[in-house]
Amino acid sequence: MSSLLSVQGLEARHGLLPAVRGVSFEVTDGETVALVGANGAGKTTLLRTIAGAHKSAAGQIRFDGDDITRVRAHDRLRRGIALVPEGRRLFPDLTVEENLLVAARPDRKGQWTLDTVLEAFPLLKPLRGRRAATLSGGEQQATAIGRALISNPRLLLLDEVSLGLAPIAVEAVYRSLTTLIEGGTTIVLVEQDLKRATSVASRVICMLEGRLVLEGGSELTREQITEAYFGLRKAPT
């Protein structure tokens, strides 16, 4: 199967400080990839660079066969790449329904409408008229994911899915994510919780100090992932 997303030799910096260092990987259509690593590993910068929110310094990003390395963020969204950023970034004075509808794109047809998003995230149904500022963290996260979905993306990038959420909220969000995954949505998610990440992902990519240090599927053990996560394993040469 050909890759939907291909990242080759990608470099990204914060000023003079390298944040992503020569990262290469591919994601096939319908796959769920978990991107794991300690704080400062470069995961968020990598997602933002793929989405076009952070400028790459070197390397190439191809999406559905096209080189999008120099394509602007809003054009990547139009092509079908949607990012749910850390911190959700909803419009606080708009209702849940308004936050969802503001991302709807008439030029991108697909399965995701207001109704289908509310079906996938049933906790939002009774909240559709509530202002985003009054929502709990889990409700905001569900709204943020729904807002990305309603643009009918081919690739959904989720940053820090469970960060700062109560356990019951994490359960609700992951139940909805499972629905998306079973429906064939292509997802790359950043997750600090290794158990959660490995429970939904078909493949795990571990980063350390901006580099990819481990990649694999069900053959990887928790011990291998933990060793790579904490830098107890040598990066591939």
Integer CA distances (angstroms), 197 to 68, 80, 103, 160, in order: 28, 23, 27, 10
Express each pLDDT in 160-181 by its tens digit: 888 888 888 888 888 888 989 9
One-letter amino acid for residue 86 of the chain: E
Express each pLDDT in 85-95 by its tens digit: 887 789 999 99
| CA pair distance 61, 69, nearest whole angstrom | 5
Express each pLDDT in 12-71 by its tens digit: 999 999 999 999 999 999 999 999 999 899 999 999 999 999 999 999 999 999 999 999
Question: Per DSSP, what are the bridge partners of residue 95?
Answer: 131
What domains appear along the chain, each with residue ranges and CATH number? 3-229 (3.40.50.300)
pLDDT band for position 230 (cuts 50, 70, 90) = confident
One-letter amino acid for residue 136 of the chain: S
Which tops the pLDDT comparison, 232 or 197? 197
- The predicted model scores a pTM of 0.90
Q: What is the pLDDT of residue 117?
A: 92
* Beta strand segments in the chain, E: 3-14, 17-28, 32-36, 56-63, 66-67, 81-84, 155-158, 186-190, 203-208, 211-216
Question: What percent of the chain clears pLDDT 70, i.e. is strictly above it?
Answer: 97
Question: What percent of the chain clears pLDDT 90, i.e. is strictly above it?
Answer: 70
Express each pLDDT in 190-201 by its tens digit: 988 888 888 999
Burial tier of 49 (Cβ tally within 10 Å: 0-12, 13-18, 19+): buried
